[in-house]
């Protein structure tokens, strides 16, 4: 498990290889990742946006931006934990993701970024 704390928000990531398949004669590798976000600050915060960099050896870095996570913009009180699962399809057997969440502090109405640490997406057969 990979973890990082930014401004009192702990982000933990666990990954899992789901399998491979062919699409238009190109191998594709499916991965799942479980994100746990824990509000260790004393403030109420809300996750409003996400930004991802998806890196793999077979193509240029892909940038993904969007509102919230998995269709939600969770509000988190102090001590509250939010988990969600998502996935990624790569055309390389290894890759990585990193990014950040834009959050808003409900006390100050100020936006801030919470880093998501780099996490590897590796097929078991690619590791020696």
pLDDT digits (tens, 9 = 90+) for 13-72: 999 999 999 999 999 999 999 999 999 999 999 999 999 999 998 889 999 999 999 999
What residue ranges do the domains of the chain occupy?
2-120
What pLDDT was estimated at residue 1?
Answer: 87
State if pTM tops 0.85: yes
What pLDDT was estimated at residue 125?
Answer: 83
- Determine whether 42 is exposed, middle or buried from the number of CB atoms within 10 Å of its CB (0-12, 13-18, 19+): exposed
- CA separation for the pair 61, 80 (Å, rounded): 33
Decide: helix, strand or coil at residue 126: helix
What pLDDT was estimated at residue 94?
Answer: 93
What pLDDT was estimated at residue 74?
Answer: 97
CATH pick for 2-120 out of 2.60.40.1470, 3.20.20.140, 3.40.640.10, 1.10.10.10 = 2.60.40.1470
Judge whether residue 128 has pLDDT over 60: no
Cβ atoms of 43 and 107 within 8 Å: the answer is yes
């Amino acid at each position: 498990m990979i973890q990082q704390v930014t401004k009192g928000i702990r982000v933990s990531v666990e990954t899992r290889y789901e399998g491979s398949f062919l699409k238009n004669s190109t191998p594709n590798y499916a991965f799942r990742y479980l994100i746990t976000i824990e509000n260790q600050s004393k403030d109420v915060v809300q996750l409003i946006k996400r930004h991802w960099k998806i890196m793999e050896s077979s193509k240029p870095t892909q940038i993904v931006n969007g509102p919230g996570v998995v269709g939600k913009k969770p509000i988190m009180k102090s001590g509250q934990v939010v988990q969600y699962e998502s996935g990624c399809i790569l055309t390389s057997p290894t890759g990585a993701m990193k990014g950040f969440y834009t959050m808003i502090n409900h006390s100050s109405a100020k936006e801030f970024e919470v880093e998501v640490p780099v996490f590897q997406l590796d097929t078991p057969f690619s590791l020696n």
